């Protein structure tokens, strides 16, 4: 599941509605952000029931303050509404997947 989140409330509702959610924060003119997004989408598709929310910080500037974001891209993993893992700027996909897999296994038991 892939959903564009355009308000702070939609972001909050999204992480509250899903036991395990990945959030990708990007900007319009960020080539790295646009390159990482398909990789994150592909990774999330490997885990049934994991939701992906995409936030364009160019359209929702307030998200930077809400999430303490100083650079993009930022990819976050939320488990039961709590931020459990964060990577910014340089996304290590293997490390990100390791954390996602551990959290996924914890809710599958």
Cβ–Cβ under 8 Å, residues 25 and 67: yes
Residue-by-residue pLDDT tens, the chain, 109 positions: 789 999 999 999 999 999 999 999 999 999 999 999 999 999 999 999 999 999 999 999 999 999 999 999 999 999 999 999 999 999 999 999 999 999 999 997 6
pLDDT given at position 92? 96
Question: Token digits for 28?
Answer: 């319009």
Please tell me the distance from the alpha carbon of residue 8 to that of residue 48, in angstroms, as a whole number.
Answer: 25
State pTM to two decimals. 0.95
């Amino acid at each position: 599941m892939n959903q564009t989140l355009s308000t702070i409330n939609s972001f909050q509702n999204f992480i509250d509605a899903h036991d395990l959610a990945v959030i990708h924060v990007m900007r319009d003119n960020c080539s790295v952000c646009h390159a990482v997004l398909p990789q994150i989408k592909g990774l999330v598709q490997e885990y049934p029931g994991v939701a992906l929310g995409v936030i364009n910080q160019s359209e929702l500037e307030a998200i930077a303050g809400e999430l303490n974001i100083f650079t993009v891209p930022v990819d976050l993993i939320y488990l039961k509404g709590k931020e459990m893992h964060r990577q910014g700027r340089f996304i290590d996909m293997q490390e990100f997947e390791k954390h996602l897999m551990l959290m996924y296994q914890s809710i599958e038991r």
